[in-house]
Amino acid sequence: MGAEPRSRQETLALRKQLIGSSCKLFFPEDPVKIISAKGQYMYDENGNKYLDCINNVAQVGHCHSEVIRAAHQQNLALNTNSRYLHDNLVDYAQRLSNTLPKKLCTFYFLNSGSEANDLALRLARQYTKHEDILVVDHAYHGHLTSLIDISPYKFRNLEGQKEWVHVAPLPDTYRGLYREDNKDPATAYANEVKKIIDQAQQKGRKFAAFFVESLPSVAGQIIPPPGYFQKAAKHIHSAGGVFIADEIQVGFGRVGKHFWAFQLQGEDFIPDIITMGKPIGNGHPVSCVATTKEIAEAFSATGVEYFNTFGGNPVSCAIGIAVLDVIEKEQLQLHALQVGSFLMELLNQQKAKHPLIGDVRGVGLFIGVDLVQDQEKRTPATEEAAIIVTRLKEEFIMLATDGPGRNVLKFKPPLCFNAEDAKLVADKLDKILTELEKREA
């Protein structure tokens, strides 16, 4: 006889006893114990089925049979480091290169987005021989010390801003410096980048990179105005730096119109380095940095080997290839475009009906609903957002908030999320917003 299954309360008590308290739970007042998942659904210990609207790591759906099979079969044959020749490594690099502009043709494989971003920093500094990094406000690039230093979302609550870090305004056309009434917000925000570079250069600072998420997520599901990256890239290149696009949250077809979110800026934009993580392995720890031959050669010129024990191992590469196969076979990029457009339409209908919704923004299955207390002042409705997320959980829908005011409902579901799911979420949201408005009337 097996041991009795542990109750949720017992698991919670053990977690509190054994796990660092800075590792937070969703719904800390009433956490959910998840024991299995399939597709866009997660199941608790009582068999309740939750619709997952936030798990962008399970890109092709939780526990996809083809991804599991690829991992299992390769595990049966070999799993070792990348110092031996193996076809999976080169096959995977080749498959990724087919999705990218020709210039981004050299790959490094790692295990997490933080590792990828840390390596991108090293590449930029080695290539430019400069130290300083420019980021946008509220950015988050990872949990390593080097990345906390360039993540205003974190460092503002810790040791503050380092001398070599420079923060440009978030290119947010709803709450930012330049809004929807500005005729050319891309140029206006890029001019802010130039201003910061010029001021720093006058003090003798030298820039290694402009490091930016292709679609800032923690900052509140932000869609930078098209043309902003091209103009900002011109300014950072003039200062001798490179442009790093962090695709960790948003790559691999999520935006629908393109495979990579940086491509939303236009065909004429190509970053110098891009970083990938989260959805790349559908839950398996994989990440990648893609860059140019020139940058990679400057990194090799140090004579110091770059070795990552688990990076690019045959199992991780088999999984990465399987994820690409599923995205292609199930046409998930097109699906993200169609379902995302439908969900945006439904949410915009709710916006017309409910004054609590100030803005609906997004592309593909990357969507933010900005909740406000006042349409004119755009005051973040933080408390209401928390109530909505808790109420949705009671309706077996997993959603979370983001943004500096924790007032933006963020939608980043697995890409198999369908039109029926979109309709269900919109209907439940409508019901909860109506309840809230009645309560406040």
Report, as an integer, the average pLDDT of 3-14: 91
What does the block give as tokens for 253? 């077809």
Per-residue pLDDT at 157: 73
d(CA 45, CA 200): 55
- Using CA atoms, how far apart are residues 225 and 111, in angstroms rounded to an integer? 31
pLDDT of residue 362: 98
Single-letter amino acid, residue 317: C
8 Å CB contact between 347 and 360 = yes
d(CA 164, CA 76): 47
pLDDT at 2: 60
Q: What pLDDT, on the 0 to 100 scale, is given for residue 159?
A: 76
User: How far apart are alpha carbons 155 and 147 in whole angstroms?
Assistant: 9
Distance (Å, rounded) from C-alpha 164 to C-alpha 205? 8
Strands 366-374 vs 165-168: parallel, antiparallel or unpaired: unpaired
Residue 366 DSSP SS3: strand
| pLDDT score, position 375 | 93
Percent with pLDDT over 70 in the chain: 99
The pTM of this model reads: 0.96
Which secondary structure element, helix H or strand E, spans residue 411, and what is its range? strand 408-411
pLDDT of 438 reads: 86
β-pairing verdict for 49-52 and 41-44: antiparallel
Domains (range + CATH), the chain: 8-60+331-440 (3.90.1150.10), 65-329 (3.40.640.10)
pLDDT tens digits along 245-293: 999 999 999 999 999 999 999 999 999 999 999 999 999 999 999 999 9
Query: pLDDT value at position 96?
Result: 98
CB 137 within 8 Å of CB 218:
no
pLDDT tens digits, one per residue of 311-329: 999 999 999 999 999 999 9
Q: Is the per-residue pLDDT at 102 higher than 90?
A: yes
